[in-house]
Structure 1
Amino acid sequence: MSEITQKLSVKEKIGYSLGDLAANLVFQTLVTWISYYYLNIYGLKSEHASLLTLVVGLVAAFGFNPVMGAIADRTKSRWGKFRPWILWTAVPLGVVALLAFRTPSFAYQGKVIYAVITYALLLMLYAANNLPYSALSGVITGDMKERNSMSAYRFVAVMFAQFFVQVFMYNFIIKAGGGTDVESMKVGISKVMTVLAIIGTIMLIICFLTTKERVIPKPEQKSSLKEDLADLFKNRPWVIMLIVTTVVFITLALKGGSYVYYFENYVDKGELSAFLAPFKKFLPTFENDTSLGLGVFNGGGILVGLVGIMLSQTFANKYGKRNVFMVSLFISTLFIIFFYFIPQKSIGLIFGAQILHGFFYGISTPILWTMIADVADFSEWKNNRRATAIIFSAMMVGLKAGLSIGSSLVSWILGKYHYVANSTNGQTDTAINGTKMLISIYPAITFLIAVALLFFYEIDKKKEMQIENDLKLRRAD
């Protein structure tokens, strides 16, 4: 491989990070709002919403992502393999994101069909955009410290997107629609998604213009799709990271999609109002205590998560990615479990647990994707062939499968606990207990599975350095 300078400018790191900021305006909306949208705004039955997000998501994950990875790895253009896909999908992704959150005036069956089509298109375009974008991190530089630094920039941008979606979006939907009734919420979410689609499209174009592919495979490293797939399944770190990615995103979809139900149905409204009194002076534009409470709760976790992200690179460089990822994920899980035992009137404990969870999870956030880039290096080191996108496509399968399973579980579990959407009589104790389980015990199980799997991941600090040095020598030939 040609070896030109592997150092990245601040401009390029910021430009690259804007790609994930744009994509996460879509992704974080899916994680946080898709179940609530389909149940409480769009008007689907819980079993239909659950089946839709599960089946469409899994078909898109397993049917489209591997194909997209193979196509991206074999793309040839004057812009490289992966960058052109960021440009080509920028506008279509924005348009379909807008359409997916519009509620047509169809009969119920027509609405189900419309939801299936728009959700499938959204997931496919997201893969066609974000898979090459993620793979770009494996070829933008071969320097692992530069990758860690770039990943930190990237996930600061992710956290900004997450901050907006989880802190302000609920309130903006209410404001844009003019109320909290179903019809107003339909108007509100459509207006908000229009703005996000425009902003996201612009950011993706900037990402394309400011980045460059530096790790270029030599012609003799060309491989067939059959060889690429064979390499994957012989690559144990890849298999482990595929499962880890899946269960991590099951967790994110479970708890992220359940917080709004937790605040609407479990948290004591009187105690919450008293706790929020100081915040109302600085955030007077929130429409009600539930939207303000949800915003402050999510915002606190995200802000301390940014601190964790900023410390992540230092810890990873010193102790190795695997060890830091495993420890920080485990500690963050302890605070998820703690949520189940917090009384509904103990607002300070609720917010404190979220802050501590957010900090430790923030440390792990950028490491996941740099570990996947390391898996691509491991494959090249072991097989003398590089297939970056197909490795990342497998991780995107995990991401999509996790999102689909987690979002489906939110709707399905709520149905099993007899939750009634838009109920005027309140929820039963059973349904309220279900909302507690959805943000505590259930997501903790999948996080702990990820921690256990990481014990078998062989790319530790010592092997990271060996792989990097060996590949530098090969590429210099």
Structure 2
Amino acid sequence: MTTPASSDRLSFKEKLAYGLGDTASNFYFQAFNLFLSYYYTDVVGIKDAAAVGTLLGTMPILVALLNPVIGVVADRTSTRWGKFRPWILWGAVPYGILGYIMFTTPDVSLAGKLTYAYLTYTLMLITYAAINTPYGALMGVMSPSSEDRTSLSSYRFACAFLGALLIGWLVPVLKDVLTPAGGVPADGFRNTMAIFAVLSVGMFLYTFFNTRERVAAPVNQRTSLGRDLGDLRSNGPWLVLFFVAFLNLTNVGLRSGAGIYYFKYAVGNEGALGTFNLVGFLCFILGALSTKLFTAHFSRRSLMIVLTIINAAGIGGCYFVAPHNLVALYVLNIIGSFAAGPTPAIVWSLYADTADFGEWKFGRRATGLIFSATVMVQKIGLAIGGGMIGWLLSYYGYEANAVQTPRALHGINLLFSLLPGCFALLAGLAIVFYRLDEPQVKQMEQELAARKAAAAT
């Protein structure tokens, strides 16, 4: 690794181009988190919420096992575009098409609808993994500078939150506006996702054409999957972040998917969800854009601990607020969302540091494996969170499009507040065990630069 010359520092255009890739990812990622369970139970008409929970809770886990495979293959990919960028080019169009097809459920029997859901959701998950895993690893090789990567990560997640904002705000509106006269709600969902499918393909292509890979593996590195996996198991900082990722994404899966149920049945105003999401995502973006301000004064580890615990309080506090008290709900949403804003940018820059740590300690670099294994555990956490929605709705006696019993309403409240809040709190506490501090990161950068300079002479 070499210290980047001024000409190799990341420009605004390149940071934005990279960030827009996560906008494209979040068009579907957030659509699935926020609306897929509801789409299957209340729009498509798969009345068995437990069956939907099993779909959302099992298939992402099975497909997640592909992520390390994709990461290993990407580490060994060699093209004129680099290792990771070509995957974005190859996957963009299939990604857009499959995401749209998911929301074109045919009018068949309930068994047929569930089969269609399994087939299209699984294919979409595979395509998402094939494009998003190399996309995540790309950040680790665009610059050798930890400072540059933290800045790049903040752009990434500001753009990710922009995608989340557009989905969370516009889908509740567009699904009604784009339902043709005499049509059904499924038509509105299909037409809405057609728009986001086209936008996502265009954004991924823009990412591909306007980014570069600058960090290469050590010149004499020998490729060995066994050694790569052994290095990963011995990478203490990465192992801590492995558990943090699981806990955080379980929180996200629960909170996101439960929102539409909470506003439809507990608040009694499904349409208010769009504004609630808009305010939350705007605060996310503001928080993400404040990342550099925070990291200039505090260590990333300390920030992750404090901000994650504040976010947990904002989420869990909703349990103690009456659903009709929108002012209190908004206040908690604003506090929790702003606190969460910088955390994705920070934690992904820490993942890049763990790739440096692996090269520094073991003399080998496996960026793709580091990031793909991270994505795998994130998907497992997200799947468990999404699956818990269907399973617990069924346990508490939920019935789609009906007046809910007090027990069912209590279950919906738990899914929206206390349960995800507890997972977020555990994630904050887990970060206490992360020991790779800023001075050591700088030392690694210098030593790796010296090694590569010596190897080049």
TM-score, normalisation: structure 2: 0.96
Residue 10 of structure 2 corresponds to 8
* C-alpha displacement of 1:43: 2.0
Aligned mate of 2:316, from 337, 351, 362: 337
Q: Partner letter of residue 445 of structure 1?
A: C
Question: In structure 1, the residue corresponding to 2:341 is in which secondary structure?
Answer: helix
Q: Deviations over 1:149-178 (max 9, x none)?
A: 111111111111010111111111111114
Q: Partner letter of residue 60 of structure 1?
A: V
Residue 151 of structure 1 corresponds to 153
Question: In structure 1, the residue corresponding to 2:270 is in which secondary structure?
Answer: helix
Q: Deviations over 1:216-239 (max 9, x none)?
A: 123312321111111111112111
- The answer (yes or no) to whether the contact 2:2–2:144 under 8 Å persists in 1 is no
Residue 357 of structure 2 corresponds to 378
Aligned mate of 1:457, from 417, 434, 440: 434
Counterparts in 2 of 1:171-320, with a 5 A limit?
171-178=173-180, 184-267=184-267, 269=268, 290-291=270-271, 293-320=272-299
- The answer (yes or no) to whether the contact 1:94–1:198 under 8 Å persists in 2 is yes
Q: Does 1:60 align with 2:37?
A: no
Residue 367 of structure 1 corresponds to 346
Whole-Å Cα distance in 2 between the matches of residues 201 and 121 of structure 1? Answer: 17
- The answer (yes or no) to whether the contact 2:91–2:131 under 8 Å persists in 1 is yes
Whole-Å Cα distance in 2 between the matches of residues 110 and 337 of structure 1? Answer: 38
Whole-Å Cα distance in 2 between the matches of residues 4 and 299 of structure 1? Answer: 38
Whole-Å Cα distance in 1 between the matches of residues 36 and 348 of structure 2? Answer: 24
Aligned mate of 2:80, from 68, 78, 81: 78
Whole-Å Cα distance in 2 between the matches of residues 239 and 216 of structure 1? Answer: 24
Q: Deviations over 1:186-227 (max 9, x none)?
A: 101111111111110011011000000000123312321111
Question: In structure 2, the residue corresponding to 1:266 is in which secondary structure?
Answer: helix
Q: Partner letter of residue 8 of structure 1?
A: L
Counterparts in 2 of 1:17-166, with a 5 A limit?
17-44=19-46, 45-62=48-65, 64-166=66-168
Question: In structure 2, the residue corresponding to 1:290 is in which secondary structure?
Answer: coil
Residue 408 of structure 2 corresponds to 431
Whole-Å Cα distance in 1 between the matches of residues 397 and 188 of structure 2? Answer: 28
Q: Partner letter of residue 170 of structure 2?
A: F
- The answer (yes or no) to whether the contact 1:104–1:111 under 8 Å persists in 2 is yes
Whole-Å Cα distance in 1 between the matches of residues 385 and 295 of structure 2? Answer: 28
Whole-Å Cα distance in 2 between the matches of residues 69 and 310 of structure 1? Answer: 29
Residue 447 of structure 1 corresponds to 424
Whole-Å Cα distance in 1 between the matches of residues 359 and 418 of structure 2? Answer: 39
- The answer (yes or no) to whether the contact 1:41–1:186 under 8 Å persists in 2 is yes
Q: Does 1:352 align with 2:331?
A: yes
Whole-Å Cα distance in 1 between the matches of residues 136 and 222 of structure 2? Answer: 21
Percent identical residues: 35
Whole-Å Cα distance in 1 between the matches of residues 172 and 53 of structure 2? Answer: 22
- The answer (yes or no) to whether the contact 1:98–1:193 under 8 Å persists in 2 is yes
Whole-Å Cα distance in 1 between the matches of residues 323 and 69 of structure 2? Answer: 47
Residue 448 of structure 2 corresponds to 471
Q: Partner letter of residue 444 of structure 2?
A: I
- The answer (yes or no) to whether the contact 1:319–1:461 under 8 Å persists in 2 is no
- The answer (yes or no) to whether the contact 1:2–1:218 under 8 Å persists in 2 is no
Q: Deviations over 1:259-286 (max 9, x none)?
A: 111111112x5xxxxxxxxxxxxxxxxx
Whole-Å Cα distance in 1 between the matches of residues 284 and 145 of structure 2? Answer: 25
Counterparts in 2 of 1:314-329, with a 5 A limit?
314-329=293-308
Question: In structure 2, the residue corresponding to 1:318 is in which secondary structure?
Answer: coil
Deviating beyond 3 angstroms after TM superposition, the runs of 4 or more aligned structure 1 residues are 1-6
Whole-Å Cα distance in 2 between the matches of residues 235 and 27 of structure 1? Answer: 29
**Bigger Cα displacement from structure 2, 309-318 vs 146-155:** 309-318
- The answer (yes or no) to whether the contact 2:218–2:365 under 8 Å persists in 1 is no
Q: What count of residue pairs does the alignment treat as equivalent? A: 451
Distance of aligned partners of 1:462 and 1:318 in 2 relative to their CA distance in 1, 3 Å threshold: farther
Whole-Å Cα distance in 1 between the matches of residues 305 and 4 of structure 2? Answer: 34
Residue 400 of structure 2 corresponds to 421
Whole-Å Cα distance in 2 between the matches of residues 221 and 145 of structure 1? Answer: 26
Runs of 5+ consecutive residues of structure 2 not aligned to the other structure: none
TM-score, normalisation: structure 1: 0.92
Distance of aligned partners of 1:101 and 1:211 in 2 relative to their CA distance in 1, 3 Å threshold: same
- The answer (yes or no) to whether the contact 1:3–1:475 under 8 Å persists in 2 is no
- The answer (yes or no) to whether the contact 1:35–1:49 under 8 Å persists in 2 is yes
* C-alpha displacement of 1:290: 3.0
Whole-Å Cα distance in 2 between the matches of residues 16 and 36 of structure 1? Answer: 31
* C-alpha displacement of 1:27: 0.7
* C-alpha displacement of 1:2: 6.0
Q: Partner letter of residue 320 of structure 1?
A: S
How much is the aligned-residue C-alpha RMSD, in angstroms?
1.5
Question: In structure 2, the residue corresponding to 1:319 is in which secondary structure?
Answer: coil
Residue 283 of structure 1 corresponds to none
Residue 389 of structure 1 corresponds to 368
Whole-Å Cα distance in 2 between the matches of residues 322 and 189 of structure 1? Answer: 41
Question: In structure 1, the residue corresponding to 2:401 is in which secondary structure?
Answer: coil
- The answer (yes or no) to whether the contact 1:297–1:351 under 8 Å persists in 2 is yes
Q: Partner letter of residue 31 of structure 2?
A: T
Q: Deviations over 1:378-430 (max 9, x none)?
A: 1111111100001101111112111211111111111111111111xx11111
- The answer (yes or no) to whether the contact 1:3–1:214 under 8 Å persists in 2 is no
- The answer (yes or no) to whether the contact 1:2–1:216 under 8 Å persists in 2 is no
Distance of aligned partners of 1:317 and 1:124 in 2 relative to their CA distance in 1, 3 Å threshold: farther
Question: In structure 2, the residue corresponding to 1:222 is in which secondary structure?
Answer: coil
* C-alpha displacement of 1:3: 5.9
Whole-Å Cα distance in 1 between the matches of residues 295 and 263 of structure 2? Answer: 35
